Amino acid sequence: MPRMTADCRKSPNYWASRQIPSPGNADAIRRAFAKLPNAAMLESVAADSPSSCWSYYVSAPSVTISADPDTDGPDWLNALRVPGFPNVATACAEPPFRGGWIGYLSYEAGRWIEPKAGGRHDLSAFKLSQWRFYDTLLAHDVVTDRWFVAGVSAHPNSASRGTLDERLSHLAAFVRSIPLLRRSPDPAFSIPSSGEWNLTDDEYLQRVSRILDYIHAGDVYQVNMTRRFRAALNADPVDLYELLCGSNPASYAAFIRFDGDVPLRTIQSSSPELFLALEDSIVTTRPIKGTRPRSGGAQRDAEAIAELENSEKERAELNMIIDLERNDLGRVCEYGSIRVEHPGEIESHPTVFHRTATIRGRLRKECDAIDLIRATFPGGSITGAPKVRAMQIIDELETESRGPYCGAIGYIGVNGDMQLNLPIRTLTTIGERVELAVGSGVVADSNPREELEELNAKAAGMMRAIASCRHDATFLDQTARAEAPSSFATCSDATTSRH
């Protein structure tokens, strides 16, 4: 989210932050944290990102909560409200997120919000929702290359974890111990020889035609239809994540590992789409609708941009979602505060061009981040409009659950702020298996074959990462010499900024 213009007010004494010298190599930091148990990273890896400039690295959560699909409902989200941490603005020069929850909502958690949407599929191998409380983190401002260790008071249900100063000092020492890494040549690109889609091309085209029947019958205006790819993968998950960020750099990258179950599971995302940002009561959403593939040639790319800018179909497709998002935000935002700040700007990404809108509003004083999620989840750009009817058609035509894909990934800070991406460029790994999914929005004048071509363009960066991944890492992995922060008991004389 862009830096807000709200006044910076003094925060209470439940958090602390400390600027540290630059480690000199963000790749080394990424790989060191990726190997820690139950680690998570939320990164901005796109050059000149229009909406995100901070990256966060965490491990060793103090509390974990997971949703049980058989017994939990939307009230489960109340557990993400932590007593004792008042909602306040933060100092502008320091990380917007200093501690709190990091986790995800699967797309199927939308059944809580819209129970009439259907739910005939078994859930994926990932839980319906899981969030972990991190009270200490490493933060990086990728624009200024400033690094901070930051933290908050312990969660009320946490066991003793040392004082906040001790935790910050131990994390700073761990960062200093991480050695630099040298890049080796990137592996040659080749299309995967093994792997399969859950829908063949013909099956996908048939389903798009069925959606068009529903649209022409007046049931719905737009439906987002997806399909899923699976392949074997014998590699360290962090190697795949590195390649994903390299082949598909985006504003909202995420790597979350889950060590409680065997085999190891990870969620890896490099998404260009902001689902929700809440900062000092200002809500922002940036839905994407409208795609053209990139060719790599200047003339052809210029033609693709002009075509996307002038396409009435793509403009109408995005306008439908803008109206949907405005309605959703209207449930929790102050009357008259919702503004469409940009109805559709063209953004360049590694394999595609997208049309993206920006919508903002001011959250009502009696509402918070959890109310905002309940009002808007799942995101309209990955359902269609009207939302509930589109979700019913998705449930009918898609053959399995979406899982974390098309749900939400991000953080909910103890200060009340939140940032969630919409994970549309997302891989999941379970042991030696990797999966991805892609979708496209179908409207009245969609051409089924063109929708299939759009899917292929969106999948290109993820497929390239899978194809390029190999068991011997593309970096010289020297991080074994850096010990994980197993406790928080080391103090230092560094100055701590406390508010």
User: Quick one: which H or E segment has residue 139?
Assistant: strand 136-141
Q: What are the tokens at 450?
A: 């063109």
User: Quick one: which H or E segment has residue 205?
Assistant: helix 201-216
Contact criterion met (CB below 8 Å) for 248 and 437: no
Indicate the average pLDDT of the chain.
85
The top-scoring range by mean pLDDT among 81-85, 114-118, 190-194, 376-380 is: 376-380
Q: Residue 378 pLDDT > 90, yes or no?
A: yes
Which has more confidence, 303 or 51?
A: 303
């958690």: which residue's tokens? 109
Q: What is the pLDDT of residue 320?
A: 92
Q: What is the pLDDT of residue 429?
A: 94
Q: List pLDDT tens digits, range 156-165.
A: 888 778 889 9
Q: Residue 244 pLDDT > 60, yes or no?
A: yes
| Domains defined for the chain, CATH in brackets | 15-202+223-281+406-498 (3.60.120.10)
Rounded to two decimals, the pTM is 0.88
Sequence-ordered list of residues with C-beta below 8 angstroms from that of 367, at least 6 positions apart, any chain: 332
Min mean pLDDT across 72-81, 95-104, 386-395, 408-417 is at: 72-81
**What letter would DSSP give residue 417?**
-
Q: What is the pLDDT of residue 472?
A: 33
Min mean pLDDT across 119-128, 141-150, 287-296, 418-427 is at: 287-296
Q: Residue 454 pLDDT > 70, yes or no?
A: yes
Q: How confident is the model at residue 50 (pLDDT cuts 50, 70, 90)?
A: low
Q: List pLDDT tens digits, range 468-486.
A: 874 333 322 333 333 444 4
Contact criterion met (CB below 8 Å) for 455 and 227: yes
Helical ranges in 330-410 per DSSP H: 369-376, 387-397
Q: Residue 194 pLDDT > 70, yes or no?
A: no
- Asked if the bond preceding 386 is cis, omega within 30° of 0, the reply is yes
Q: Residue 271 pLDDT > 80, yes or no?
A: yes
The DSSP string of 146-187 is EEEEEEEPPPTTPPP---HHHHHHHHHHHHHTPPP--B-PPP
SS3 270: strand
SS3 117: helix
